[in-house]
Chains A and B, each alone.
Chain A
Amino acid sequence: MVVSTLEYFYLVQCLYNGSVSEHLLASRRPALTVRIETMAHYEEVNVRGYEEFSHAVSERKGKDIFAYFSGDKDVQGKSWCPDCVKAEPVVRGEMTHLPEGSVFIYCQVGERAYWKDPSNDFKKTLKLSGVPTLLRYGTPQKLVEDECLKAELVRMMFTED
């Protein structure tokens, strides 16, 4: 039974974080508000275009980076790539299985015309063959197009070495 605001704070933090920050335990200061920390055990990064993608990767050297490439979304938030629209909820649904401390980069590649050009940076440098593509950066692990629609494959990529 929760008897004080302080205990309630710790309880909420425990439930959502899996632990209680040592600093707070040590200080034992009563909190005035309930702070709910995020559940994520991975870092999510949103980028647009090849340059932003490369920059995001170079800033996170040594980390386990998963990248999801999708066609650009319009103002309504819908991508020109129909498979990307279908795959995104499947991929997002498995993100709880991402390894601890990993990075998930959501990358919009560009407009349809840019993507169709075979000399675009994603095709040339990253060797992407289609969107959506879900890959584990620096490894041969990747799922392309309709493979991204299969939840078990996405989960397998996130959970296996």
Chain B
Amino acid sequence: MAALCRGKHRWRRTNCLYVSTRNLTGKYDYDLVVIGGGSGGLACSKEAAQLGQKVAVLDYVEPTVKGTKWGLGGTCVNVGCIPKKLMHQAALLGAAVKDAKKYGWQITGPVCHDWATMAEAVHNHVRSLNWGHRVQLQDKKVKYLNLKGSLVDKHTVKGLSKAGKETILTAKNVVIASGGRPKCPTNVPGAMEHGITSDDIFWLKKSPGKTLVVGASYVALECAGFLTGVGMDTTVMVRSIALRGFDQQIAGLVTDYMKTYGTKFAWKCVPKRVDKLSSGALQVTWTDTQTGNDHKDTFDSVLWAVGRAPETKALGLDKLGVQLNKETGKIVLGADESTSVPNIYAFGDIGEGRPELTPTAIKAGKLLAQRLAGQTTELMNYDSVATTVFTPLEYGCVGLSEEEAEKRHGKDGIEVYHAFYKPLEFTVAERDASQCYIKVVCERAGDQKILGLHFTGPNAGEVTQGFAMGFQCGATYSHLLQTVGIHPTCAEEVVKVNITKRSGLDATVTGC
């Protein structure tokens, strides 16, 4: 029989499974095999299947050190956006209950938060999303395999089951969308054994108690934010600056607000070691880099939020010569999501220089599927992507930070309009609004094209989304002036912004 086959034909022997890598016509098992069943992988595989391709998606979750694992859907659904926003909402509701009294609600006695109740509700929702994704894959005829995928060669993917059984699949094209995982410091004794990461925090059945959050990324600040909001004694340990990559003036407003609302900050400090005490509590020793002195304190939990990295080693990419960025470990990509190896593509969090966001991964995945099926030549546009940081004071932005705009156009080439405003709802509630702020960075000349828009305040995500469309259409400051505000809202202050930083005038909005 082997003599009848044209081309290279191998019988591969794997644990209990003989699979022919080429059938008689030389076709592959699949048109497309996607490694990773997260936001990007699912969008790409479903789109490809809808376009008539034979697709398989491999999704596998390597449990954390603490043993946490989850179902289909990737980081966003299980240990990212979704549980984060729900817990953020839990914290906001706590604050709202306090405000409610001022609005006339008769709330007798203190209102306490039960972690277990929140956790169960969040888990139930996440599990319903896992199921929803499973149904969608089946319905759209995508073959789903709960296997850990790695590359054997550019047309062959190996899937490893939990029990160690191997399955081999061949594919015309392979897409890597396996995302990233939280990093854990390797130079801090006790960090890995005693600490947790964002992969664990959302699945804790019991309250994390007094928590030290190490890091100042949006992951660190968002987690510290909701932990404080539901009543935990929370400290954020920052090595240098907060929200690196974001507008630093706004980052300061965000952390100032968090401080006012009870989150403690240990600035310019680095953890040295973590020890577990006989009581079960964790003792953290850290160095204040400004004084050089060491300090100690005990916590119930230590949450490492010091960055994310992909598991590229486990993918077997080095064997195939797929070019990686040495520093980040991420895959170097072309504008069409191609890697250095033809027919191997990658996108999402694993791509070097790509935003680590669900909507960009979804869109990029769909476009890639369409390109691979020959339906389009359109490339993903990664510019002008709006985002929001869901800290207690939310921060929404689209476009450039002030410092980036200054770098590109020079201080004299930009005009910065800004305003400090007070949400109407804060007045009766007697809430401090000193960090509610709007900044519109524009080109100084001509119609003053908007280069960046920044908003801190309640519902920042909802406010920013609409302006992102204007940004996409090339909105200018004159467009903003022509837009009539909706009253009374916080968003209207964006279209009313008129004081420039250059003028030096007081930017506080005064009444209607």
- A→B interface (CB under 8 Å): 139-143, 147, 150, 152-153, 156, 160
Contacts and interface: CB of A to CB of B under 8 A. Distances in A.
B140 to A, nearest CB: 11
A141 B138 contact: no
A139 B127 contact: yes
A140 B128 contact: yes
Contacts of A147: 135, 139
Interface residues of B, number: 9
Contacts of B131: 139-142
B124 interface: yes
Q: By DSSP majority rule, is chain B's interface helix, strand, loop, or mixed? A: helix
B377 to A, nearest CB: 34
B138 to A, nearest CB: 5
Given A147-B135, A153-B135, 16 more contacts: A140-B124, A140-B127, A140-B128, A140-B130, A141-B131, A142-B131, A143-B135, A147-B139, A150-B139, A152-B138, A153-B138, A153-B139, A156-B134, A156-B135, A156-B138, A160-B134
A156 B72 CA distance: 15
Nearest to B130: A140
A150 B141 CA distance: 12
Specify which of A139, A140, A141, A143 lies most central, judged by the most chain B CB atoms within 10 Å of its CB.
A140
Specify which of B124, B135, B139 lies most central, judged by the most chain A CB atoms within 10 Å of its CB.
B135
Interface in B108-142: 124, 127-128, 130-131, 134-135, 138-139
B180 to A, nearest CB: 26
Contacts of A150: 139
A142 B129 CA distance: 11
Specify which of A139, A141, A152 lies most central, judged by the most chain B CB atoms within 10 Å of its CB.
A141
Interface string B173-210: 00000000000000000000000000000000000000
B258 to A, nearest CB: 34
A145 to B, nearest CB: 13
A34 to B, nearest CB: 40
Contacts of A140: 124, 127-128, 130-131
A150 B139 CA distance: 8
A61 B46 CA distance: 38
Nearest to A147: B135
21 contacts: A139-B127, A139-B131, A140-B124, A140-B127, A140-B128, A140-B130, A140-B131, A141-B131, A142-B131, A143-B135, A147-B135, A147-B139, A150-B139, A152-B138, A153-B135, A153-B138, A153-B139, A156-B134, A156-B135, A156-B138, A160-B134
